[in-house]
Amino acid sequence: MLIEETTHIVYTIIEPPAFAMDIQLVRDFIFRFVKEIKHQSVAVELLGKVYFISDFEPKPPKLSVVA
């Protein structure tokens, strides 16, 4: 079944030390964004890797940030 959704693109640049300190804020924004746009999941690109984040994901992904 094909699901049509409006595309929303958000760009940001976060320096690694600031990202590491504010990872919970970033995660909270992503999950809130998923719920507000009523999509099943969103793709997040981080350090060249793509992660699909769903609103039902129970735990944050383990990420290591190199400064």
**Phi and psi (nearest 5°) for 19?**
-60, -45
What Å distances lie between residue 65 and 20, 21, 35, 38, CA to CA?
Answer: 6, 10, 26, 29
Q: Where are the beta strands (DSSP E) in the chain?
A: 41-46, 49-54
To the question of pTM greater than 0.85 for the whole model, the response is: no
pLDDT of residue 62: 63
Distance CA 50, CA 37 (A): 19
Tens of pLDDT along the chain (67 residues) come to 887 778 778 888 878 788 778 888 877 887 788 778 777 777 888 778 888 876 555 565 566 665 5
pLDDT of residue 56: 52
